[in-house]
Chain A
Amino acid sequence: MMDCSAYYQEKVEKYLPVLINKSKNISSLGFDNKCMLILGLYTYIESIHAFQSEYDSCESCDVNDVRAFVKEEHSPALHAFDKLVMVKDEVTRGCYIHAGRKTIEDFVDSDELMAILTEFGIVTVSDLNKAFRAASLMGGN
């Protein structure tokens, strides 16, 4: 029988470097990478939940279970998580139609994405400060 806890741990470990890498310079990501960042971020949160809950089944957990976990353990990011779920659906249902594309682009530029990335330790406050400093230098402020 498969050890699901180990499975999810491995998944968390594999997703984290990819997400950190993609989150370093979000503004320069192409549209395809933005979509994959959104899908990857949701899977990462789902895997953390499954790993911490020591699931004994590897079946995908329900979105409501994941939401309850976020509400319990990461409540500052709950609102942003709800938005992430909505946008994830846009990626799988309408990534190339105009409205879907706009929703995805808006989310990637939003504070909500930043709230999730910081809450789950994908970017640190120090990274964010560095990024803001670089952006303000570029802007001449």
Chain B
Amino acid sequence: MMDYFKKKLRSYEVKLRELLVNKREMLYEQKCLFILAFNQYIEAAYMVENDISDGAFDIDNFNSWLRRRHRSVSSWVLYLREVVATIQFECYSPDCISDVDRFMSYDRLPAMVFEFNSLAHEDAKESLNLFGKATSTMSGS
């Protein structure tokens, strides 16, 4: 089970990075999947770091882990989880469309991505730095 979450973490890391690079050109469906995948990534990071080998997800433990290890972004992760719930239940309703768009343009999103990428793997941190350099070069700054 632990291998499963480690594998999941790695698969999602690659995918999230790939999606983030094209954030501006993302279609609605991709934004939704990015949000679902980001939540999955955080949950997998929680499973791996807490060595939860049976895969049982406990929301109270998850929340206390968030507050303990990721205090600076914990309230934003709760916001992310609200948007996830909206996507799961109302993915094509106008309310969901505006929630998803709002989340994707949320100015805390880069900080959240950085927080979890830097936690999971050192090489992810390196990739994110490369990503930051690439985008700043692209924007000419």
Contacts and interface: CB of A to CB of B under 8 A. Distances in A.
A31 B141 CA distance: 34
A125 to B, nearest CB: 25
A33 B8 CA distance: 21
Contact residues of A: prevailing secondary structure: helix
B91 interface: yes
Contacts of B7: 97
B8 A39 contact: no
B6 to A, nearest CB: 11
Chain A interface extent, by class: 20 to 34
A35 interface: yes
Contact of A40 (B30, B37, B91): B91
Nearest to A37: B29
A29 B29 CA distance: 11
Interface string A98-133: 100000000000000000000000000000000000
B72 interface: no
B40 interface: yes
Contacts of B40: 93-96
Contacts of A28: none
B15 A36 contact: no
B33 interface: yes
10 contacts: A14-B92, A15-B92, A32-B32, A35-B29, A35-B33, A39-B32, A40-B91, A40-B92, A96-B12, A97-B12
Interface of A: 11, 14-15, 18, 30, 32-33, 35-36, 39-40, 43, 60, 91-98
Interface of B: 7-8, 11-12, 15, 27, 29-30, 32-33, 36-37, 40, 84, 87-94
6 closest A-B pairs by CB: A32-B29, A96-B15, A36-B29, A39-B91, A32-B30, A97-B11
